[in-house]
């Protein structure tokens, strides 16, 4: 199984030691040296403080963070998990991803979702009620833009009359697209557009705040994976759908607890074995720390079980 870890720039303050180029480069290089496969970053350009209870947080711009990480590494995959697709004109999104793919030598992966923070949509001038249609539109347009061919497309809020977008990404036909979200619609979207699906462990009480369906057990996750397989068969998809998930989410008192705590990394291995048995193909670990040295120490602790995780 592939294993991804977060960069660590969730809590951002001008004095935050995670927010320097030196810090990003050190964490990224350490993750690569330890053998992790991917580095993940999030996307919250203008969250409202009230939403912090539902998982919102401050973060550096994901493209800035990953650009610095790209310079400090050579093999580590650079994954947005997730970028909120309706927030950006799809041509600007396609340009940012293609540019990062070029400068990194073809290592970018776009994890995209619809978003859930109404106040953030409002601040960015995007209609919250259009988010699903804008998400589907973005997934269509970025792939057209990445082709390098002239694009003719009439969007909800733009018109492209034969425009071209260069450079093309290094990865062909385009960088892998992962679709985030727990809903049946998100699963169908992943099957239709995605290389992979990014569900999130969510309790029913949290799901309301996140505007997301609950996935609060292995059985519920397995039920949705079976739905993805059935929909793939129904629509004629033949290539496998990769699925990334967070290990040991229901064995802890707090399902969002740091993966490196509470008996991990042994607990991570046990959970990963069960996740693998129901169809999960990649792991996303959770590491939270108040200092860079602490973050790196936790990465080193988790790296002890990487051989076992990679062997699943």
Assign residue 10 the CATH number of its domain. 3.20.20.30
Residue 18's pLDDT is what? 86
- Domain count of the fold of the chain: 1
Residue-level pLDDT at 47: 81
The pLDDT, as a whole number, for residue 303 is 94
Q: What is the pTM for the complete model shown?
A: 0.90
**Domain of residue 127, residue span:** 2-310
pLDDT tens, 221-266?
A: 999 999 999 999 999 999 999 999 998 665 444 444 555 554 467 8
Provide the pLDDT for residue 253.
Answer: 40
Ramachandran angles phi, psi of 68, nearest 5°: -65, -45
The pLDDT of residue 268 is 87
Cα(183)–Cα(87) distance, integer angstroms: 20
Write down the pLDDT at residue 290. 81
Residue 247's pLDDT is 86
pLDDT of residue 187: 97
Other beta carbons less than 10 A from residue 220's beta carbon: 17
Q: Which of 70, 74, 78, 79 is nearest to 25 (CA)?
A: 70
215: three-class secondary structure by DSSP: strand
Across the strands, what pairs with 215? Answer: 202
Residues of the chain with pLDDT under 70: 9-15, 51-56, 204-212, 248-264
């Amino acid at each position: 199984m592939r294993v991804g870890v977060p960069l660590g720039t969730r809590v951002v303050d001008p004095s935050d030691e995670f927010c320097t180029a030196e810090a990003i480069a050190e964490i990224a290089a350490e993750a690569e040296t330890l053998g992790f496969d991917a580095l993940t970053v999030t996307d919250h350009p203008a969250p409202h403080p009230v939403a912090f209870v539902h998982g919102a947080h401050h973060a550096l711009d994901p493209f800035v963070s990953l650009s610095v990480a790209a310079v400090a590494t050579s093999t580590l995959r650079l994954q947005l998990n997730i970028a909120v697709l309706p927030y950006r004109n799809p041509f600007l999104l396609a340009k940012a991803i293609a540019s990062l793919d070029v400068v990194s030598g073809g290592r970018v992966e776009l994890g995209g979702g619809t978003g859930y923070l109404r106040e953030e949509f409002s601040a960015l001038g995007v209609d919250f009620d259009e988010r699903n249609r804008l998400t589907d539109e973005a997934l269509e347009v970025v792939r057209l833009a990445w082709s390098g061919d002239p694009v003719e497309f009439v969007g909800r809020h733009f018109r492209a009359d034969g425009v071209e977008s260069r450079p093309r990404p290094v990865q062909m036909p385009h960088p892998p697209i992962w679709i985030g979200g727990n809903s049946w619609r998100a699963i169908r979207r992943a099957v239709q557009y995605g290389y992979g699906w990014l569900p999130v462990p969510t309790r029913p009480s949290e799901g309301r705040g996140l505007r997301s369906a609950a996935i609060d057990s292995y059985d519920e996750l397995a039920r949705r994976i079976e739905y993805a397989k059935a929909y793939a068969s129904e629509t004629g998809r033949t290539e496998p759908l990769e699925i990334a998930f967070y290990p040991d989410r229901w064995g802890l008192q707090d399902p969002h607890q740091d993966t490196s705590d509470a008996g991990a990394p042994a607990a991570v291995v046990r959970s990963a074995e069960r996740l693998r048995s129901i169809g999960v193909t990649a792991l996303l670990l959770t590491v939270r720390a108040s200092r860079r040295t602490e973050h790196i120490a936790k990465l080193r602790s988790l790296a002890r079980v990487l051989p076992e995780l990679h062997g699943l």
